[in-house]
Structure 1
Amino acid sequence: MEEEFEFDYNEDGQHSVERYEEMIRNQDQYFFDAQAFEYIIDNYIEKNDPVKALQVIDFALSQHPFAAVFLIKQAQLLLLTNQVERAFKALEKAEMLEPSEAEIYVLRGNIYHNQERYAEALENLEKALLFAETTDEILLQIAYVYQSMHDYEQAIVYIKRSLEQNMENKDGLYELAFCYDILDKQEESIQFYKEYIDNDPYSYAAWYNLANSYHKLELYEKAIDAYDYAILIKENFASAYFNKGNALVQLEKFEEAIDVYKQTFEYEPPNADTYCAIGECYEKLDRMDEARSYYKKSVKMDSKMADAWFGIGVTLNAEERYFESLHFYKKALDLDDENADFWFAIADAHYKLGQIEESIEAYYKVLEYNPVDVEAWLDFSTVLYEQGRLLEASETMAEAIKNNPDAAELYYRMVAYLFALGQTQEAMAYLETALVTDPEKHYILFEYLPQLQQNSAIIDVINRYIK
């Protein structure tokens, strides 16, 4: 027996949910109007119970077979539960009932997007634009499809159209920053954000993105000014404080950076990244105890914070506690085993502990992961040279030069090794190249082999280039 029940939306909506649950318990059939059904469905969606919500939709459709709204909700829930084909069918029925409902095409566009069927996704989203009252979100969806297609230029066009309609859309501003970043067009992004700020000077997101663009162009002073505006507008903007701290670090203003990093704690709980950044500042200020205490706070919050484990090692190394530092370098390496800086520190610690073979092995790793680290090549070859392995030292330099053809230091060092090997002609040829590359650095040669200052042939060649 079907009992009629008209739902008054002003009445407490919970009443209709209770009526519905009573109906299920009694295995009965009550009638609800469409609004009541919508309320009941939304209630289960909010409670994160898509299965019950779908059951309600079946009842709703049996009583209101021509209401497209239920088919659209059904499609949304079917997508949530990964029933893509059934979602498509629900949208087809909805389209037959109400072909001018934008949400149908938005949903279908999103399904196609997830399936990487980009042309069909765009076709549906463009259709949604024709029917929707507000289109800023749909324009953003289209931009996301273009991003997935790696067509960032076109994505920018749609994000800008979206922002023209809704200046408040923070997502749009951040996505735009992302696209400009990928295209490496910081100047264009600066131009855009400046114009945007002219129209909306109180947009903290625009100031923040402007600051990030300056930061990427290494215009740190300008970046800091823009971060300050963002913070002025939104006092609790923790990311702006953090990035401002990073910019101050680039300017080597470590004391100021520490203060700014600590300000983030007023607006969000401390996190491992910020503790680690503060640790690095103290390390740069040579305040190793404070640095270590912040690095320790960082790894306590996040044991996967490789840079902080490494930082602890660096502070111990500064105190000549090489054996202990090695333990922490290795913890960092466990988390990031292709990090050339970590390997370099390990190579150095082994060397200082007199563990030469381990040091040499570590140097091979440094140069495998970062063959353009001139300092590492020089240090590595020094270790070999000191062990009397002159030929290996000169072969290492040859490899270094191959990877860094513009580094004069390497040529001067090669000259020293070749002289030590008695290969005078080759040494003179390298000396010429070194002097062509950078005559000012010829002192490196004498630092390494002071006795060459007595060699008149070398002095003659050098004088030709520096006079």
Structure 2
Amino acid sequence: MQLSPNEHNDFSLSKFESMLKTNDVYFFDSEEFENIIQYYLENGKIALAKKATKMGLEQHPSSTNLKLFQVEMHIFENELDTAEILLDEIYILEKSNEEVYIQKANICSRRDKHNKAIKLLEKALSITDDQADVLSLLGMEYLFIEDFENAKYYFMKCLEQDDSDYTALYNIIYCFEYLEQHEAAIDYLNIFLNKNPYSEVGWHQVGKQYYILKQYQKALAAFDFAVISDDRFIGAYLEKGKTLEKLGRYQQAIDCYSITLGLDDPTSFALLRIGKCHERLGHLDKALQFYNKCVEEDGLLDKGWIAITDFYFRQKNYQKALYYIDKAINIDSENVLYWKRYAKINNRLNLFEEAEHGYRRALELGNYEQDTWLVRCDILLQLGENQAAVNNLFQAAEFYPESPEIEFRLAGLFFTLNEPCKAEFHLKNGLDLDPDFTIVIEELFPRFTTGIQSSKLSDPTKSLPYNFATFEVYSIVYAG
């Protein structure tokens, strides 16, 4: 009885693995070894693939395909020089073998020589009978050098050869999106869908483009077609839910997200969105229930911890908000969004030292928004840390050199530190930038108010383009 190809491969694999467990040595033809190696590579069993390659070459030392597998192993382990030497030996014998050019291109790509890799792949494309894999590799090389037009072209060629190659389709849409060609992406997908009207992936991608363009009704229709094409397509339900949220149809969005919970294990994203929808509908207990489920499902999802913290913050339950943001920080102490909330909550609780620590950590983690610098400065003032506040503002000024809010704060601080020349310098800068922000000094440094009196700076001949009615630069009345 003749074995089918699959049965034959299974038999060869079982025979090979049986041989590894004994001291027996069995003979395999080179094609059997190739199938065994390919199986192990596809299943990520690299050590077994290497062992099969070694044994294969011992039995068939002249097999080019087995030598090419050996090259692939060396490339995988980043032994590029060794792989290149072996390829050069194979090239002398087989200059028309496309796999030689593909592996040479692989080495060039690993060395970031993508243009050279492209030329080698073009050579491989000209001699191969199976162009799909080479076209895909060319598309990837163009992606590496951010030539999205050429990348798009080659992935389109892939899809022409195999309209079920959804990896190529995703890459095509990625290129369209990077180039912000959303209408062109829709036109391309419509052509694709005319040929493949039941492609759930095609409808899903059309919907995403309409969603980006804020054409939510069209997006919703596309996601409906995706669900009709495959009623277990979780991605389509999730995108449909997001679209329904944008349309303010929160209960329908909840129903959509809930379907995904029954199709597979619950996702933290779906649980989070259900919670958000319930909160929008005023179902606060249910919202809180789903936020808790979200963080239980995925403790690393920062959006979950942020949602539950913000929920309590909006309810003005600052102690509960602080409790949850503390838990989040214990899980990920490098998350700047956590520290910003930690600082904000402590500030509301008048715990200024903790609030200052939170804003300082946010700055250390790269959050250089102007408000972060300004609020930290104001807290340092509350703590009487005037010099630290000055240092903080000088750092802020490096990022925001033309900020009147920074300049007026510096003016007030230098008044406080009894350095009138520096105070006058920053006061003038602030007035030149925007005199309306003199309110900063009124609110933060009320000790320097003197009633209603106009003032001039050092140059008495220069009239001031502002109504600075509450301060006098020269005759400061220090209410200390």
TM-score norm. by structure 2 comes to: 0.70
Q: Determine the structure 2 residue equivalent to 1:201.
A: 197
Query: Structure 1 counterpart of 2:54, which letter?
Result: Q
SS in 2 for 1:167: coil
- Superposed counterparts of 1:420-431, under 5 Å: none
Distance 1:220 1:229 in 2: 14
Query: Structure 1 counterpart of 2:83, which letter?
Result: A
1:263 and 2:259 are equivalent in the alignment: yes
Distance 2:195 2:238 in 1: 27
Q: Determine the structure 2 residue equivalent to 1:56.
A: 55
Distance 2:381 2:20 in 1: 89
Q: Tell me the number of residue pairs that the alignment of Structure 1 and Structure 2 aligns.
A: 407
The change in CA–CA distance for 1:162 and 1:418 in structure 2 (over 3 A counts) is same
Q: Determine the structure 2 residue equivalent to 1:459.
A: none
Distance 1:286 1:23 in 2: 65
Distance 1:222 1:148 in 2: 33
The change in CA–CA distance for 1:257 and 1:230 in structure 2 (over 3 A counts) is same
Distance 1:371 1:61 in 2: 65
How far is the alpha carbon of 1:22 from its aligned partner? 5.5
Candidates 225, 228, 234, aligned match of 1:238: 234
- 1:44–1:52: 8 Å Cα contact kept in structure 2? no
SS in 2 for 1:275: helix
The change in CA–CA distance for 1:107 and 1:416 in structure 2 (over 3 A counts) is closer
Q: Determine the structure 1 residue equivalent to 2:155.
A: 159
Task: Select between 278-287 and 206-215 the one with higher mean Cα deviation.
Answer: 278-287
Q: Determine the structure 2 residue equivalent to 1:458.
A: none
Structure 2: where are the runs of 5+ without partners?
A: 384-388, 397-402, 409-433, 456-463, 468-480
1:292 and 2:291 are equivalent in the alignment: no
- Superposed counterparts of 1:72-151, under 5 Å: 72-151=68-147
The change in CA–CA distance for 1:23 and 1:239 in structure 2 (over 3 A counts) is closer
SS in 1 for 2:60: helix
How far is the alpha carbon of 1:164 from its aligned partner? 2.2
Task: Select between 88-97 and 127-136 the one with higher mean Cα deviation.
Answer: 88-97
Distance 2:313 2:262 in 1: 33
Distance 2:80 2:238 in 1: 42
- 2:12–2:32: 8 Å Cα contact kept in structure 1? yes
Query: Structure 2 counterpart of 1:314, which letter?
Result: D
Candidates 278, 287, 309, aligned match of 2:274: 278
Q: Can you list the C-alpha shifts for 1:269-321, whole angstroms capped at 9, x where unaligned?
A: 11222212222222222322211211111111221122212222233334442
The change in CA–CA distance for 1:381 and 1:103 in structure 2 (over 3 A counts) is closer
Distance 2:143 2:4 in 1: 42
1:169 and 2:165 are equivalent in the alignment: yes
Q: Determine the structure 2 residue equivalent to 1:456.
A: none
The change in CA–CA distance for 1:430 and 1:106 in structure 2 (over 3 A counts) is farther
1:353 and 2:352 are equivalent in the alignment: no
Distance 2:197 2:261 in 1: 27
The change in CA–CA distance for 1:323 and 1:206 in structure 2 (over 3 A counts) is same
The change in CA–CA distance for 1:365 and 1:214 in structure 2 (over 3 A counts) is farther
Q: Determine the structure 2 residue equivalent to 1:316.
A: 312
Distance 2:73 2:91 in 1: 17
Task: Select between 285-294 and 9-18 the one with higher mean Cα deviation.
Answer: 9-18
Q: Determine the structure 2 residue equivalent to 1:187.
A: 183
Candidates 351, 374, 399, aligned match of 2:405: 399
Distance 2:178 2:111 in 1: 23
- 1:50–1:81: 8 Å Cα contact kept in structure 2? no
How far is the alpha carbon of 1:122 from its aligned partner? 0.7
Distance 1:241 1:23 in 2: 48
How far is the alpha carbon of 1:233 from its aligned partner? 0.9
- 1:60–1:70: 8 Å Cα contact kept in structure 2? no
Q: Can you list the C-alpha shifts for 1:413-450, whole angstroms capped at 9, x where unaligned?
A: 87798699656879x9889xxxxxxxxxxxxxxxxxxx
SS in 1 for 2:86: helix
Distance 1:424 1:134 in 2: 86
The change in CA–CA distance for 1:429 and 1:241 in structure 2 (over 3 A counts) is farther
Q: Kindly, what percent of the aligned residue pairs are identical?
A: 25
Distance 2:435 2:242 in 1: 36
